[in-house]
Amino acid sequence: MESKPNIQDVANLANVSIATVSRVINNQGGVRKVTEERILKAIKELGYIRSAAARTMKLKETNTIGVIVPDIKNPFFPLVMAGIEQKAREKEYFTILSSTNESPKIEEEIVKNFIERGVDGVIITTANENGDHLKLLEEQGIPVVAVDRSIKKLEVDTVLVDNKKGAYQAVQQLILQGHEKISIICGPLNTTPGLERYLGYQQALADYKIDLDDRYVIQGDFGEQSGYQCTEKLFGLDEKPTAIFSSNNMMTIGCMKALEDLNWRLGSEVSFIGFDDVDIATFLNPKLSVVARPMNSIGEIAFLLLHERIGLKGNLPKREYSLAPELKIRQSCRLVNQTF
Amino acid sequence: MESKPNIQDVANLANVSIATVSRVINNQGGVRKVTEERILKAIKELGYIRSAAARTMKLKETNTIGVIVPDIKNPFFPLVMAGIEQKAREKEYFTILSSTNESPKIEEEIVKNFIERGVDGVIITTANENGDHLKLLEEQGIPVVAVDRSIKKLEVDTVLVDNKKGAYQAVQQLILQGHEKISIICGPLNTTPGLERYLGYQQALADYKIDLDDRYVIQGDFGEQSGYQCTEKLFGLDEKPTAIFSSNNMMTIGCMKALEDLNWRLGSEVSFIGFDDVDIATFLNPKLSVVARPMNSIGEIAFLLLHERIGLKGNLPKREYSLAPELKIRQSCRLVNQTF
DNA sequence: TTGAAAGCGCTAACAA
DNA sequence: TTGTTAGCGCTTTCAA
């Protein structure tokens, strides 16, 4: 085939008008059986595939949703993505994914590009919760669902896990085992998960009348490297913590690497709970206790919320969906009196 | 803003013709400074964003490439994807990603959808190496680059790792340590990586005059579950293997879980090397030896090859790029006489 | 430096 | 049951 055939080519070959071809392509009925077959044959013969661009121009809808994540290499997001895709496919929606690398600038480009492409909706874990750069979406009337991180300046549906509760439970568990010198490796406090997990930590300490010690609150950036470095810092403290709570999966991995390199013995010398389950959790010795999140459900719910909005075009109130995390106690947290 | 503004709205507001607006949007010059500013102001005021659909219709290019992977949950692919995206962004290309779940049927739908959308090229790890369903792409003159798995019925550029060599080195290592009862957990033999890794295994045994024992050749499907089950089967053998080579990352994880559940002691009772590095590798005790692949480079090269083709439209000969894997020897393979 | 107008491939309203 | 035709929003040629 030389250049791509269009609907006119099909019509010519089948000896009908383009309107009739269109009817067949879109299964609208009202076409005589024989005619339809002739058209189908022509389509096959030419290898005709309709142009989404032309179609979009008429219909103003693409049946496509855009997904924006900050770091495709963080396994959390592919898992959420899988949930989104699954539901999307059921509703005959198509999904396109882009990763911002945590850069608000790239995120803005992607948003603009998604709008150009006419996505019907966007699911986003933003690199900048402030949300100014997302105003564009609002202006265009494109529904947005925020996942994992909320968006300040935008009234959008949000799917979160109860971060505070998850962190609270983890720290509570450590406290109940007798720990008092409990450190938190924080995520960025200008992100929802970073802040809320810190708040959970704080709350747990307060509820059990343990003074918050600034030396034990240490600032990471959700990256593996920073988990490593934070752990090193904690190890360098005169009075080392007896327990560590890590605010996300990547930092947990970095933390584990550091523990090993520092020969700081997990479980016996330092108890540990991390936010988010990780592959390595059950392979470590002792096995890692974690706060687990239902990634697949998060994705599914995000799509469902978005889909409702796309259907309506009207004004649903802003909805917030909060899923319960699950504390999985394995072996990496020990009674403190077993520590020495 | 009520409904999306178009180029005409901008032209009206700025009191010029749409042609002039178009010139400004596309930085074509030849517009008086003041006029340009007026137009820019109008664009900002209206929040105008040009329609990709309309643009594509005229230009027949989208500056978009499609990426198709079989399983977005396998960390290998996000890593490759990161390499692709990085290079793509440099060349101002945009990337859309879809996952087939290893279903050729879904893959076909995605391909069709990508064509409808007018992607300028496709990078694919196909769920069906036969490739009949990809003929469409060829017919439409859309360049394709195959990654990790080649495509039989299509003349396309391919980026592979030297699977056979990687497997060979792994098995050789085991042999040199004195192992003779070496098992392979195969991937599907109708896939390039599945087959080639098996061939490497076979070759190594042959070169070292070790008879291939069918009981030790066991068939998995690249999934975690199957890694688990295969390991169970091996454990059930009267004469257990003293070493296992696993053909991919997910099966390696399943295998490790099984080893633990079976209390089959890694390193001491059974040596192990896996294809593909995994997060858990360095956390296991002993640490896992693996054949590692340069995922990021694979992605980068795939995009570069594709980009060349998109530029040319002409007939480059089919190219095959084979990257060298790296055998990372850690601790999970031991001299066989240390085994007992 | 600017504008008028054709046409990209499609859908759908209207006509036959 | 089928065909004619008007746009959708844009780029680009040609003319002014």
Overall average pLDDT of the B178-191 stretch? 95
Q: Which residue is nearest to nucleotide C13 (CA to C1')?
A: A19
Taking the C-alpha atoms of residue A83 and residue A70, their distance in angstroms, rounded to an integer, is: 17
Say if domain A62-161+295-325 classifies as CATH 3.40.50.2300.
yes
Nearest CA in chain B to A60: B53
* 3-class DSSP state of A329: coil
Question: Per-domain residue ranges for chain B?
Answer: 7-48, 62-161+295-325, 163-293
A121-124, strands of its sheet edge to edge? A94-99, A64-69, A121-124, A144-147, A157-161, A320-323
Give the β-pairing of A121-124 and A157-161: unpaired
The reported pLDDT for the residue numbered B141 is: 87
The reported pLDDT for the residue numbered B1 is: 45
Give the tens place of pLDDT for each residue, B250-269: 999 999 999 999 999 999 99
CB-closest option in A51, A85, A141 to B118: A51
What are the two backbone dihedrals, phi and then psi, of residue B97, each rounded to the nearest 5 degrees?
-120, 135
The CATH number of domain A7-48, selected from 2.40.50.140, 3.50.50.60, 3.40.1390.10, 1.10.260.40: 1.10.260.40
* Better pLDDT: A285 or A86: A86
Do residues B219 and B230 touch, judged by C-beta distance below 8 A? Answer: yes
The reply to whether A55 Cβ lies less than 7 angstroms from strand C is: yes
Taking the C-alpha atoms of residue B76 and residue B80, their distance in angstroms, rounded to an integer, is: 6
- Using 50, 70 and 90 to split pLDDT, how confident is the model at A340? very low
The reported pLDDT for the residue numbered A314 is: 67
- Using 50, 70 and 90 to split pLDDT, how confident is the model at B2? low
String of DSSP letters for B232-274: HHHHHSSS--SEEEESSHHHHHHHHHHHHHHT--BTTTBEEEE
Taking the C-alpha atoms of residue A323 and residue A2, their distance in angstroms, rounded to an integer, is: 53
Overall average pLDDT of the B217-226 stretch? 95
The reported pLDDT for the residue numbered B247 is: 97
* Better pLDDT: B142 or B334: B142
Give the tens place of pLDDT for each residue, A35-44: 999 999 999 9
Q: Considering chain A, what is the average pLDDT of its residues?
A: 92
**Contact criterion met (CB < 8 Å) for A278 and B283:** no
**Nearest chain A CA: its distance from B324 CA (Å):** 23
CATH topology agreement for domains A7-48 and A62-161+295-325: no
What are the two backbone dihedrals, phi and then psi, of residue B146, each rounded to the nearest 5 degrees?
-95, 135
- Using 50, 70 and 90 to split pLDDT, how confident is the model at A2? low
Do residues A101 and A71 touch, judged by C-beta distance below 8 A? Answer: yes
Q: Residue A11 CA to nucleotide D3 C1', Å?
A: 11
The reported pLDDT for the residue numbered A335 is: 74
The reported pLDDT for the residue numbered B338 is: 47
Give the tens place of pLDDT for each residue, B66-123: 999 999 999 999 999 999 999 998 998 988 889 999 899 999 999 998 999 899 999 9
- Closest C-alpha to A70, from A23, A103, A119: A103
| Amino acid at the residue A83 | G
CATH of span A163-293 = 3.40.50.2300
Question: What is the torsion angle, in degrees rounded to the nearest 10, for the CA atoms of residue B97, residue A94, residue A292 and residue B225?
Answer: -70
Do residues B165 and B140 touch, judged by C-beta distance below 8 A? Answer: no
Overall average pLDDT of the A294-302 stretch? 97
Taking the C-alpha atoms of residue B217 and residue B103, their distance in angstroms, rounded to an integer, is: 26
Distances (CA, A) of A262 to A250, A255, A256, B248: 18, 10, 10, 31
The reported pLDDT for the residue numbered B96 is: 86
The reply to whether B243 Cβ lies less than 7 angstroms from strand C is: no
**Contact criterion met (CB < 8 Å) for A106 and B89:** yes
Q: Residue A123 CA to nucleotide C9 C1', Å?
A: 30
Q: A76: which 2 tokens? A: 């959390």
Give the tens place of pLDDT for each residue, B189-210: 989 999 999 999 999 999 999 9
Taking the C-alpha atoms of residue B213 and residue A138, their distance in angstroms, rounded to an integer, is: 64
The pLDDT of residue A261 is above 70: yes
Closest C1' nucleotide to B20's CA:
C2
